[in-house]
Amino acid sequence: MTVAQDLAGRRAVITGGAQGLGRAIAERLAVAGAAITIVDLDAAHSPLPVGWDMVVCDLGSPAAQEEMRQLAERLGSVDIVVANAGVVPPWRRVVALDRAEWEAVMAVNVWGVAITLGAFADALAQSGRGAAIVMASINGYKAHPEQVLYSASKHAVIGVMRAAALDLGARGVRVNALAPGPIATEALLSRIARRHAEGGPDPEKVLAGMAADTALGRLASPQDVANAAHFLASDAAAGITGKVLPIEAGLA
């Protein structure tokens, strides 16, 4: 690890950090020396390492904005914020959209990201080296069939990131986005298995097909995403803001 990527003495807040990509990112930042605060729905969902701070918050709830403001005030100076919390709705074509589902997903995926950045703006500025990272997706700049809602939410997340980078840049805060392609997380595997149970293709063939579409011949991993987050959070990326970093193994 180079000195520029050393995070010793820094505080990182990761939303949706109890499992999945958020957990992988939190673990990577912790290895680099950061103190970790996790914001997630359920404190009992997944045991956390000793020394990690855990805060329960539903970012889609009406109370979330004030709860995040209170957390930022309690923590004081914060060096890294990863707005990772999000949900992936069921596959649904544009002719079958559901308003309640749409509003619930947008509340977490877009509003949740925006209020996280807003709540921690002062804390990140106080740090003097603040870095915020939002979790977008390749669906933030392209689309797939039956993913109208998810694609719309991730397009919006990139817009939030770009505007926030302009708002906060004068205060020395960098804001960037990660855009993973297909990652073999538990969430993706469960969705593929569910589609198979409903008459869809064999899960192994689906994963093999996804891997074959990449330049590297494999899917990007949670560790790949976590390493990219570490880079954007560190001084090695001090000159980068308002950008989207794809992590998709060269997806065609």
| pTM for this entry | 0.93
Checking if the pLDDT of 57 tops 80, the result is yes
Q: What is the pLDDT of residue 62?
A: 96
Q: What is the pLDDT of residue 87?
A: 94
Checking if the pLDDT of 44 tops 70, the result is no
Amino acid 234 reads: S
Checking if the pLDDT of 2 tops 60, the result is no
Among 1-10, 29-38, 89-98, the minimum mean pLDDT is found in 1-10
Q: Is 141 a catalytic residue?
A: no
d(CA 208, CA 193): 14
Checking if the pLDDT of 1 tops 60, the result is no
Mean pLDDT of the chain: 94
The CATH number of the structural domain formed by 3-183+220-247 is 3.40.50.720
Q: What is the mean pLDDT of residues 124-145?
A: 96
CA within 13 Å, CB half, 62: 0
Q: What is the pLDDT of residue 185?
A: 77
Q: pLDDT class for 139, splitting at 50, 70, 90? A: very high
- The helix, strand and coil proportions of the chain, stated in percent and rounded to the nearest 5, come to 50, 15, 35
Q: What is the pLDDT of residue 69?
A: 98
The tokens of 209 are what? 């097909």
Across the strands, what pairs with 180?
Answer: 247
Local structure of residue 56 (DSSP, 8 states): E
pLDDT digits (tens, 9 = 90+) for 161-170: 999 999 999 9
Q: What is the pLDDT of residue 3?
A: 65
Give the residue extent of every domain in the chain: 3-183+220-247
From 150, 185, 210, 230, active-site residue: 150
**C-alpha to C-alpha distances, 93 to 88, 103, 105, 151, nearest whole angstrom:** 14, 16, 15, 12
Q: Is 179 helix (H, G, I), strand (E, B) or coil?
A: strand
The tokens of 171 are what? 């205060």
Question: Mean pLDDT highest for which of 16-20, 63-67, 140-144, 190-194?
Answer: 63-67
Q: pLDDT class for 198, splitting at 50, 70, 90? A: confident
Neighbours of 115 (CB within 10 A): 19
d(CA 182, CA 221): 9
Q: What is the mean pLDDT of residues 179-198?
A: 83
